[in-house]
Each structure stands twice: as structure tokens, then as C-alpha cells.
Structure 1
Amino acid sequence: MTRSSETPTQVLFYEQGASWWWVLAGPAAGVSMGLIQASAGYGFQWLVPGIFLVLVSGFLAIQVKAARIHTSVELTPETLRQGTERISIDEIVRVYPEATGPETPKWQSFRALGELTGVPRGRTGIGLKLTNDRGAQAWARKHQRLRMALTQLVEERIPPDRAP
């Protein structure tokens, strides 16, 4: 079956990871350098502002592209994708409750999903109990929405009174 004839999968939750708007800091840096040159009495020369524009835009474009690959989240009724790692919703047995109080819950020491070494900066972890007595942390900026969607999917499959 070809991809064009397949029905699109319903996306229940999505975060893109980073915005391309950050790349506009490159032109802003170039304009700033041009204004600094002009205010210092050197007149306007294209070389330094051009270098700043290219370097800042280039470095930020690389970082945004990496963030869009490694810190994006997508939840469908069948899979949870965290960065480049995909797990089947059937592997999720339980979604642990949110951490409250002074004690650190055990699930916060679980491996973070994705190929990153931990939960990415600016995101909050969500404890998951997986099949074969494994644990993991899903993560997202809008973690309450992801937690709610994951809990709903798991409870549809495994009623709360039968959860291990």
C-alpha cells in the first residue's frame, strides 16, 4: 500500500521542539553591528555586519534543526515519539501520578525517552511504567496535556481497576 492512499494518523499531542523564528537573531545581529559601526564614526561597511549575519544565523539554524529533531514530541493513538525514539502505546502499562511533596518519586530516576541523556531543559518528566517491568520518563513543555492524553489512552486499553 502506498503512503498517499493511507489515511493520516490522528495526532493527539504535538510539540515541535524549537521555532525557526530564532534564526531572525542573525539579521538582528548584523543590523546591530552595522549601527555600532555607523555610531562609532566608521561609516557603514558590509563585511562585519555580513559576517555576524551569516555566523549567527548559521549556528542558530543548526541548533533549531537539532532541537526540532531531538526535542519534538508526537502522540498518536498507536505510538509516542520523543525525539527520534518511538514506543508503542501498547508498551505503556501505567502513567505515574505527578510528583508532589518533598520526596522524589522513584520514576524521576528512570531513563528519559529519546536519545538524550535526560529530560531536556524546559520540559517536565512524566513517569511511565512499561511492559516487562521497565520504567521510563516521557517529557514535554506542556506536560499536563501530554499526561492527560497518555492517561486517557492507557485507561482505554487497561481500565484503572486492573492496572498493575
Structure 2
Amino acid sequence: MTERADPMSPSDVLFYEQGASWLWLLAGPAAGVSMALIQLSAGYGIQWMVPGAFFVLVTLFLGIQVKAARIHTSVKLTADKLRQGTETILTSEIVRVYPEADGSETPKWQYARALGELTGVPRGRTGIGLRMTNARTAQAWARKHQQLRAALTNLLEERIPPEPAS
């Protein structure tokens, strides 16, 4: 399921990560300036073709990567939906948030399918085990995984109150 234009106000968003920053595009001008300085230090003077090519190529390639990262590694949690990359699931399908992995033994949920269309948890992100309806298990993921885990746990506690201690 893909998400189109989102009419929700920012106050409805419980957690959000953008995936990548457009500031990476500043590496293109930095590469062009660096090449110009290398030419100057070598005593050739500035030949604008090489710094211009570095500027354009680095900016173009990084622009494509940043755009892809903003699509495929962004996370958005609202009261009704969890979007991981291009996949959106209803929060009503989440039954439990598994505890964090600790110790030397790997919990079973870490072998579960990662949400989103990627083959696994994206690099730099940490997985969060989710028990879904129909006895399914999945992994949500985020850079700020503690914040996403807390938001998911709070959302579940509001929907399914904890069992009273007897």
C-alpha cells in the first residue's frame, strides 16, 4: 500500500523520520571548489570544465540517492497508520511490541520480515519486533528506535490496556 498526499496535520504525527537530508547536496559544490583549488595549487590555473563536471556529477548522483532515501527509509507513525518506506500498515494490526534484544541469543523476531519494500532493516537503523494479527511477526525500524518503540508502546497501551496485576 502506498501513501499519496497526506491530509493529516503535523499534530497527528506521533513519530517521523525523513530518511535523508538534502544538505548532502552541498557535497557537489564542495567537490567543484576542491577541484578548482587543486588546479590552482598545481599551478595550472582554473579550467572550469573539471570543477564544473565534479559539481554537476556529484550533485546529481547525491540528489538521486537522497531522493531514494527519503522515499524508502522514511518513517511516519500516526494513531491509525505506520508507514515504513513505501509500505503502510494499520496500527490496529499491531498486537504487541517485543522487548529489545539483550544478551547473546538472537530473538526470533529479528529473523522476521522488515516492513517496507527493502530486503531487510536499512543500514543505520535498528529493528523493533512487532507481533501482528494472524500470528505474523514483522520488524519496524528507525534511526531513533527508542523513540519509535516508546510511541508504538504508548499507542498499544492506549488501545489495549495492560492486564491488571492479581
TM-score > 0.5, shorter chain as reference: yes
Please, which of 62, 82, 85 is the counterpart of residue 84 of structure 2? 82
1:137 alignment partner in structure 2: 139
Counterparts of 1:57 and 1:140 in 2: how far apart (Å)? 26
Q: d(CA) in 1 for partners of 2:92 and 2:99?
A: 19
Report matched runs for 1:83-98 at 5 Å. 83-98=85-100
Identity of aligned residues (%): 75
Task: From 109, 112, 116, give the equivalent of 2:114.
Answer: 112
Aligned to 2:21: 19
Provide the residue aligned with 2:150 in structure 1: 148
2:87 aligned partner, one-letter code: E
Deviations 1:67-117 (A, max 9, x none): 000000000000000001000000000000000111000000000000000
1:149 is paired with a residue whose SS is helix
SS at match of 2:158: helix
CA distance in 2, matches of 1:132, 1:7: 29
- TM-score normalised by length of structure 2: 0.92
Amino acid at match of 1:154: L
Deviations 1:20-50 (A, max 9, x none): 0001000000000001011111101110000
Q: Which runs of 4+ in 1 moved over 6 A?
A: none
Unaligned runs of 5+ in 2: none
Please name the residue that 1:47 is paired with: 49
TM-score using structure 1 length: 0.93
In the comparison of the two structures, how many residue pairs are matched? Answer: 159
Pairwise CA RMSD: 1.6
Assess, with a 3 A threshold, how the Cα gap between structure 1 residues 58 and 7 changes in structure 2: closer, same or farther. closer
